[in-house]
Amino acid sequence: MTIDQILNDKGREIISIKADSSLADAARTLDEKRIGAVVALGDDGEIVGVLSERDIVRHVARNGEAALKIIVGDAMTRDVITIESTTNVEEAMQLMTDRRVRHLPVMRNDRLIGVVSIGDLVKWKIAETEAEAEAMKSYLSAQY
């Protein structure tokens, strides 16, 4: 299965924020949308970073309440790892594990078309495993 198929199931809504927004604004967006990371976009709509809950927590731990006034551009991860929509799910899971990230922006023809989380991929893997187990039960039932 490819990432494109995951996006077909989960949807392709992209939650983004401007890099000059405050961490307080970003935290509100994460809370309202019930997500763990948001893509930061530049004025031209290009990905300039990813801001996660973890990034916000780090800044709050270091700076206290003042951290909420820090701009997203100063707190986000700039070295963004992306994947193509044609990427195999197992390959994406391996990349997330190796690079220790929980969210991957998904690209097609150099355009952002979605974001997948480790939760999205684990959900698919569990469904796949359950389907295989059910198929095996059906096969064995038919044999005996």
70-104: pLDDT as tens digits = 999 999 999 999 999 999 999 999 999 999 999 99
For 107-130, write each residue's pLDDT tens digit.
999 999 999 999 999 998 888 888
CA atoms within 13 A on the CB side of 50: 22
Tens of pLDDT, residue by residue over 14-67, are 999 999 999 999 999 999 999 999 999 988 889 999 999 999 999 999 999 999
Q: Taking the model in full, what pTM does it have?
A: 0.84
Q: What is the pLDDT of residue 99?
A: 94
- Determine contact, residues 114/86, Cβ cutoff 8 Å: no
pLDDT at 72: 97
Contact criterion met (CB below 8 Å) for 69 and 23: yes
DSSP string, 63-103: HGGGGGGSBHHHHSB-S---EETT-BHHHHHHHHHHHT-SE
Give the C-alpha distances (Å, rounded to integers) separating 69 from 10, 27, 58.
33, 11, 14
Give the domains, in start order, of the chain with CATH numbers: 3-143 (3.10.580.10)
